[in-house]
Every structure is written in C-alpha cells, then in structure tokens.
Chain A
Amino acid sequence: MKEKQVKKVGKSLLCTALSVVSLAALVATVAGCAEPATLEEVQLMTPVEKTEYLVGESFDPAGLSLVGVYSDGSRKMITDYTYDKTSPLTKEDTLVKITVGEYVFETEITVVTPAEKIIFLMANGVDTLEFYGDGHIAIVGGAGGGSNEPDETYWSWDGKELEIWLTEWTVPKKEKADYKTKMDLKYDEMGNLSFQYYVRGQWCINYAATKTLLDSVLTPDTRYPVEG
C-alpha cells in the first residue's frame, strides 16, 4: 500500500507542476500579444546632408532619417514628416523645422552668397585650405590658425590660371606686405595639382587637389573672386 501511495503522490505532484508551468506560459504569451505597440518617441538618427545653400536654392532634406521608438521596444523608420521652408532660401533663413506629429527637430542652415561660399578645399593631414568665393583662403586645422597673420592670403582664377598666395615665414622679411608669397603650383602629367608650403615656417606640408575636383569648380566661364 505504501508504495502505491508514494507513486500516486509523486504523479500528482508532477502533474500539478506541469500544469502550472503551461498555464503561466500561456498567460505570458497572451499578455505579450494583447496590446498593440504605441509610439513613445521620435529620434533623429542622421541629419540632412546639405546645410550650406546659395541664395535662391531650395531646402533639400536628403540624408535625413528619423526613427520611431515604440512601447514594445521596437524601432522603425519614419517617413511622413514635413518641413517649413519650402520656398527659395534667403540669407535670413537660418533654421528649418522638421515636424513629425508633435515632435519638432530644428536644423541649422546657412545661406550664403557666392562670395561667402567655400568653392573648394585643398587638404592634408594637419591643415585644410578653404578657398572662399571672395578670394580669401582660410587655413583650418592643427597647425593653422595664427599662421594667417599677417592676413595676406588669397587666390584667384581667371578662367585659365589658378594663383595661390600664402604667408611665407621661412625667410625673414622686412615689410608686412612682403610676407605674401605666390605658391609654386605643380601640375603632374594628369593635371593633378600639388604644392609645398611651410606652415608656420616649420612644418613642410604638401597640399594636393585632383584634376577632377579642380575641373568641377574652376571652369573656363567662372571667375574668382566673385562679387556679392
């Protein structure tokens, strides 16, 4: 008799345990599927690509991506957004508002005249030369800033020839105006440009630009510096 009872007790315990577990599993699954997920937050993942415009261009939202975060933890792309600057841009336009429901994202833009625009860059590791439409060159980067003084750096393009003038420090000069030196521009057989410049008179830097880049901005019809 004892063994039978032991067996019965054992069996019943096992059955109870199994049923409890299955019930719990069922409840959990049901609970999980019951409610539809709600939108909890909209995040900006990548900003718009173009932030500098010429006067008269229209705002281009390309590159913008927005993510919706839902109550169940899932994340999805959001495509229905609107923005407030739809007409041609003026210099006063500095902010574009992008709206998704009650979420608003502000994107800063700058609208410039051709003179204020950076036409092209020549780069190396330490510094970047920014060539502006109005003919001045800014040296930005690790050893730059300060090497512009005295501020006698400029460039020009007359449809045929490019001229670059930077501040040369390596040899002491008498007058401030004499520091401005014309760079010795070297073009290789393919038309790629490079020249050597001693930043702050010490670091020998090789600046370069490909023919493709130059041809795209320095055409026979364009002239720099521009007015405006």
Chain B
Amino acid sequence: MKWFEKRGIGFYAEFVSAVAGVLALIVYLIYNIAISKVTADVLIVLLIGIAASAVALLYKKRIGSIATVVSVLGFALAFGLYLNDRIIMFEEMINHITGMTERNNILAVVIVIFVLLFVSMVTGIVASFNDKELEG
C-alpha cells in the first residue's frame, strides 16, 4: 500500500470522494435498473466525476489539479440533476399522494444516493483546498 501511504489530506479526501462516487453509482444503477428508470444525464455526469477523481488520484501536477475540480463538478452536477429528477417524488411526499406518476419508489434508497453524492461533493471540495502531497 505504498501508493496509499504518506499522502496529503487532499489525497485521502479525494480517495473518499472517489469511493463515495463509485458507491453512489452502484446503488443508483441497481435501484434504477430495478425500477426501469435510468436517467442518462445523472449517469453521465456521475461517470465524469468518478473518472476525474481517478485521474486526480493517479496524476500529479496540473492534470491532477484540474481533475480534482472537475470531479467535484461532476458529483455536484449529479447531485443537482438528481435533485431535479426527484422533484416529483418530493412533491408527492409533501402532498401525501404517492405512486402518482411513478411507482415503486423507495425513499430510503433515494436518500442513500443523495448522502453518498453529498459526501463525494464535500470531500472533493476538501481535496480541492488541500495538497495531495505532504509538505516537505
């Protein structure tokens, strides 16, 4: 695990960000394929976020730096677009009429996805503010 040791906060934060992003992807795919509702826009930006965080972890210098910001952007867009996607569901919850335009929504799963995306966003921001390499 030499690659993993002696890294800056930024690295570890980026790592957590990547893992959270991958987990979000897995949960999202399993859930949405099961209810046959995969939305392309969320999927694409999420994949961009994951790819960018991988680049950020593996590459140093400028590319890695840019990739960090891009990964945050990707996860944040995934969060925002998924929010847009789920608006109907929240409307229904507020009005206490479920199952109107969509069926089989499981609130718990949706919350898990949002939490994972939020974690990947926030840790990505932390990564942006910090070095990936240790000082000195």
A/B touching: CB–CB < 8 A: no
Question: A: which residues have CB within 8 A of B?
Answer: none
